[in-house]
Amino acid sequence: MDAAIVNQTDSATFLRALEGALRDRTSSSALGLIVASVENLDHLKSVFGHGKALPLMTRLAEKLRAMIGTEDTVIRFGDAKFGIVVRELKNEGHLVLAANKILRGIKNSFDISDASLEAQMRIGATASRECSNDPDTILQQAETALLAARLDNKDFLLYEPGQTSRLKSAYGMEKEIEMALEHGEISMFYQPKVAAANRRPVGAEALMRWSCPSRGFVPPDVFIPVADETGQIESLTWFGIKAALRQCKDWSDRWGPLSVAINVTPSLVERGDLPELLNNLKGLWDVPAEQITIEVTENALMRPDESFAQLSALRETGARVSIDDFGTGYSSLSYFNSIPADELKIDKSFVMKMLDDDGYASIVRTIINLAHDFGLQVTAEGVENRATADALAALDCDYLQGYYFSRPLPQAEFITWLSTYEP
């Protein structure tokens, strides 16, 4: 790839370049993406004419090229943006330095013909974290950071997960979520869980999907945080639980008892009306409570006094409680032996790296042993290949879930999976 592509490309071309960079990198190195937007390009065009504003973009590309490392790539995409792929990223601080360097470096005006043009640049950046190997996600994150910077009137912002929820609500997602439920745009997908020892299906995790007519597929990572902020999470969750229990009943009638795991945000757990709802629903759908698992993220344990009481109340309904994304949060060993839970779910960021990195392998091993010592079961999520499944079984992990077995599937396809899958 050329070090600097100064002609305008579309974002599909840019995504392909990004994909190449992700593929080429060594497994241990992170990659950074900077999206730099010339915010006043339209203004410059109208004041100085396209004939002078467009050469400015070429000059900026050259300047950017001179400022970044030899390994890195600058690509112009869209009308007024540059994407800068930073390879061999050591840490996020490195991105902050790079962004500041760029902002300083382009401060002075550029003389083009007889005019002096000054670019106003704004930057959003992201570091590819463990699980984001997907060029689309990385670009979306950098663009999100850029939008957030615009909203806050900052020159530069690094991507943070919270930005998405702020932005999406700022752009009217709240109304659309309201419509989504009414119009049947929300559905539940099911990702199989199998026993590690014999690879037989034991149930599925229910994962929410939103197919929005105007936005297309909206990932749950985007709309769940918005719904959590607006309070709409309650009606979404009630909808999800009802669908999951009804569909679980369906599979269990045909394949024998299978469990269903439902995600519940810490905010809803703390509110405390979940146990009553579950008690009502499990009768309605005739699903035994022990076939229902409630997954809450480890963050729910941050205020143990309140959350432990709520989780205990949930377990009194007979449902199982699983601590999701375990290992990424803040739980403390000091109260480990009193966590009212039945299962720990090891976060996929550890599982996906356990074969390449001894550090991650020992985290996984430690979590499994710790859980068993305290009488908890363990599910590993993010199992993408057979070798990982075998390694987890050898470590005595109880259940496995991941793309190796299946991606999350719509109800009908999950049933097909159950009837064709061979352990």
Picking from 404, 415, 408, 401, the residue whose alpha carbon sits closest to that of residue 193 is 401
Instruction: Kindly state the number of chain residues that form the binding site for ligand C2E, as judged by CB under 6 A.
Output: 25
Q: How far apart are CA 68 and CA 65, in angstroms?
A: 6
Q: Are 138 and 33 in contact (CB under 8 A)?
A: yes
Q: Are 323 and 341 in contact (CB under 8 A)?
A: yes
Q: In what order do the strands lie in the sheet with 73-77?
A: 4-9, 73-77, 81-89, 30-38, 121-127, 156-158
Neighbour count for residue 261 (Cβ, 10 Å): 27
With the C-alpha atoms ordered 344, 350, 352, 356, is the resulting torsion angle positive or negative? negative
Stretch that binds Ca ion, among 84-92, 145-153, 316-324, 362-370 (CB under 5 A): 316-324
Tell me if 286 contacts ligand C2E by CB under 6 A: no
Q: How far apart are CA 413 and CA 417, in angstroms?
A: 6
From the list Ca ion, ligand C2E, none, which binds 5 (C-beta under 5 to 8 Å, kind-based)? none
Tell me if 403 contacts ligand C2E by CB under 6 A: yes
Q: Are 234 and 261 in contact (CB under 8 A)?
A: no
Q: Of 5 and 301, which CB lies nearer to ligand C2E in the complex structure?
A: 301
Among 32, 135, 203, 240, the residue binding ligand C2E under the rule CB under 6 A is 240
Q: Of 102 and 261, which CB lies nearer to Ca ion in the complex structure?
A: 261
Take residue 63 and report the two structure tokens written for it: 């300047």
Among 65, 85, 402, 411, the residue binding ligand C2E under the rule CB under 6 A is 402
Among 72, 234, 324, 398, the residue binding ligand C2E under the rule CB under 6 A is 324
Q: Of 77 and 360, which CB lies nearer to ligand C2E in the complex structure?
A: 360
Burial label, 56 (beta-carbon count in 10 A; 0-12, 13-18, 19+): buried
Closest approach of Cβ 58 to Ca ion, in Å? 45
Q: Of 158 and 383, which CB lies nearer to ligand C2E in the complex structure?
A: 383
SS3 133: coil
Closest approach of Cβ 405 to ligand C2E, in Å? 8
Q: Footprint of ligand C2E on residues 19-78 (CB under 6 A)?
A: none
Type of residue at 362: S
Among 252, 259, 263, 411, the residue binding Ca ion under the rule CB under 5 A is 263
Tell me if 263 contacts ligand C2E by CB under 6 A: yes
Type of residue at 186: I
Binding mask 195-234 for ligand C2E (x = CB under 6 A): ------------xx----------xxx--x----------
Rg, C-alpha atoms of the chain: 25
Among 65, 320, 348, 353, the residue binding ligand C2E under the rule CB under 6 A is 348
Q: Footprint of ligand C2E on residues 264-283 (CB under 6 A)?
A: 264-265
Stretch that binds ligand C2E, among 19-27, 85-93, 360-368, 381-389 (CB under 6 A): 381-389
Residue with tokens 């993408």: 384
Closest approach of Cβ 79 to ligand C2E, in Å? 31
Q: Are 326 and 343 in contact (CB under 8 A)?
A: no
Buried b (16+ CB within 10 A) or exposed e, 315-353: bebebbbbbbbbbbbebeeeebeebbbbbbbbbbbbbbb
Q: How far apart are CA 226 and CA 237, in angstroms?
A: 13
Closest approach of Cβ 355 to ligand C2E, in Å? 13
Q: Of 141 and 263, which CB lies nearer to ligand C2E in the complex structure?
A: 263
From the list Ca ion, ligand C2E, none, which binds 224 (C-beta under 5 to 8 Å, kind-based)? ligand C2E
Neighbour count for residue 174 (Cβ, 10 Å): 17
Q: Of 124 and 240, which CB lies nearer to Ca ion in the complex structure?
A: 240
- Which stretches of the chain bind ligand C2E, using CB under 6 A? 131, 191, 207-208, 219-221, 224, 237, 240, 263-265, 295, 324-325, 348, 381-384, 401-403, 408
